Amino acid sequence: MSNMKAAPDLRENKMGTWPVGKLLFNMALPLVLSMLVQALYNVVDSVYVAGYSENAVTALSLAFPIQNLQIGCATGIAVGMNSLLSKSLGEGNRERANRAAGNGIFLTLVLIALFMLFGFFGAGAYYKMQPISAQTIHEGTSYTAICCIFTAGIFIEILGERLLQASGRTIYTLFTQGTGAVLNILLDPLFIYGNEALGLAPMGAAGAAVATVIGQWVAAIMAVIFNLTKNDDVQFALKYLRPRRDIIRIVLAVGIPSMIMMGIGSVMNFGMNQIFLGFPQIGETASGVFGVYFKLQSFFLMPLIGLNNASISIIAFNYGARQPQRIIKNLKYALGTAMIIMLLGVAVFQTVPEQLMGIFGSTDETGNFVAIGVNALRIVSWHFPIAAVCIALGASFQALGNGIYSTITSLCRQLVALLPAAYLLSLTGDVNLVWWAFPIAEVVSMIFTLIFFRRIYQQKIKPMYA
């Protein structure tokens, strides 16, 4: 079905005309707010599950690598499509923009099928290969299988939101993500603990998965509706779904590095969980703390991702329009904003870690859960300002078609530096020392980020001034 509305003059697109500070604020704010809401429902998910059992908390922590890969693949295709689409709109090439959107949809359908197969046949094997209790295996298998079998919701939601973002209509993503998040929060206690009046039996971790996929599917439906009715810059028709090698190659050139980065994150999460599970008596507790840390840090990292996504669209559009001064201004505003957000994160994690961990109501009678978590939050938060620099400048890598730089910096941070450092620190027998691996790895990442940004500035941004 084709969107037949007349398209506006591309020269009037706000990404090429608005003051940069106002533009970044206008585009990023809805994304940041929606990411905050998403971070909230991720945390609420864990809070409800923690009240059910500590096995369920560990199960969700071990599920994170799979969910991270799932979201990473969806985001990778969407970011690759987004970069080409924004650049095409900046150049005034509407046909290429439509092809980018259609081929992005085609690639998304392929990935949905692959994750559904894993949900049916791979979830159980993934948990059985780890040194955890039978109850944790049961809780984790049911949670992961449900999330993967019904994975179409999150894939369609992310793709639809990036299509809106690429054309500057980020306000609608606030409604899609916000609605899905609020719905998940409301449904969590019903499915996790059950409700006799409604005839719902307690489902534990599986109930959290059911609430999650319902929220994702509702958000996906809303994203489709908004694109069909509000997105005038892109036409949707079956002919654009036909795979085009030249379009797919460009989309994957940007998207695959993004997917690899998230895949690296999944390997990192799996590896860190194995390191924590290796500690006698407190292994599953430490792994659960690791999962909770990732939920809490999302309150500060997710807004940075929203800021980063808005920045990518602005940079790509103005690169296509040959406006280098707007690219540099955008990077300066993005870096300043990112630093403020992450410094706030440091302040929160340093001053109220006991209260943050107490939210999750440890079922561990020895108190190890809260004690380990307090040390973890205080130590890991020192890398937040360094991460702000890496994320803000890294937007230019993907927007300007050098996604391989993002892959290398992510590889150095999460595999080359983090896992070896964490393993060596674990040999001391003190689980609290393992958390210092995060600041160490972030310093390594920043060094590579600064080297690559200087290179991309010299090769792609500086020549435009001439």
53 pLDDT above the threshold of 70: yes
- pLDDT over threshold 50, residue 433: yes
Would you say residue 243 has pLDDT above 50?
A: yes
Q: Which two tokens stand for residue 114?
A: 């692959």
What's the structural domain count of the chain?
1
Residue 69 within a domain: yes
- Name the residue among 122, 111, 193, 195 with its Cα closest to residue 158: 111
Q: Identify any residues that bridge with 195 across adjacent strands, giving them in sequence order.
A: 200
pLDDT reported for residue 60: 85
Say what the alpha-carbon torsion angle 344, 349, 351, 352 is, to the nearest 10 degrees: 120
* Residues 68, 74, 75, 76, CA torsion sign: positive
Least confident piece of the model among 2-6, 113-117, 280-284, 402-406 = 2-6
Find the range with the poorest average confidence among 9-23, 284-298, 418-432. Answer: 9-23
Residue 122's SS3 state is: coil
Predicted pLDDT of residue 379 = 96
* Residue 274 confidence (pLDDT) above 80: yes
Does residue 240 sit within a domain?
Answer: yes
- Contact between 116 and 148 under an 8 Å Cβ cutoff? The reply is yes
Residue 7 CA to residue 27 CA, distance in Å, equals: 20
In a domain, 5, yes or no: no
Residues 199-236: pLDDT tens digits? 889 899 899 999 999 999 999 999 999 988 887 777 77
User: Which pLDDT score is estimated for 26?
Assistant: 81
Calpha distance 387→342 (Å, rounded): 8
Which residue would you say has higher pLDDT here, 447 or 239?
447
Exposure class string for 344-375: b at 16+ Cβ within 10 A, else e: ebbebbeeebeebbeebebbbeeebbbbbbbb
Confidence at residue 169, expressed as pLDDT on a 0 to 100 scale: 77
Each residue's pLDDT tens digit, 317-343 = 888 888 999 999 999 999 999 999 999
- Domain holding 116, by residue range, is 14-465
The answer to whether residue 3 sits within a structural domain is no
Neighbours of 462 (CB within 10 A): 12
Q: Backbone phi, then psi, for 195, in 5-degree steps?
A: -150, 110
According to the per-residue pLDDT averaged within each range, which of 109-113, 166-170, 178-182, 368-372 is highest?
109-113
pTM: 0.73
Give the Cα separation of 455 and 461 in Å (integer).
Answer: 10
Q: Residue 329 contacts by C-beta under 8 Å, 6 or more apart in sequence?
A: 20, 21
Residue 4 confidence (pLDDT)? 40
Decide: helix, strand or coil at residue 351: helix
2 pLDDT more than 60: no
* Tokens (6 digits) for 104: 């992005």
Helix (H) or strand (E) holding 5: none
Q: Give the Cα separation of 132 and 146 in Å (integer).
A: 20
Q: How far apart are CA 112 and CA 157, in angstroms?
A: 12
The residue that leads in pLDDT, 68 or 400, is 400
Longest CA–CA span in the chain (Å) reads: 71
Q: Is residue 426 part of a domain?
A: yes
User: What DSSP string describes 266-318?
Assistant: HHHHHHHHHHHHTSTTTHHHHHHHHHHHHHHHHHHHHHHHHHHHHHHHHHHHH
87 domain residue, yes or no: yes
How big is the chain, counted in residues?
A: 466
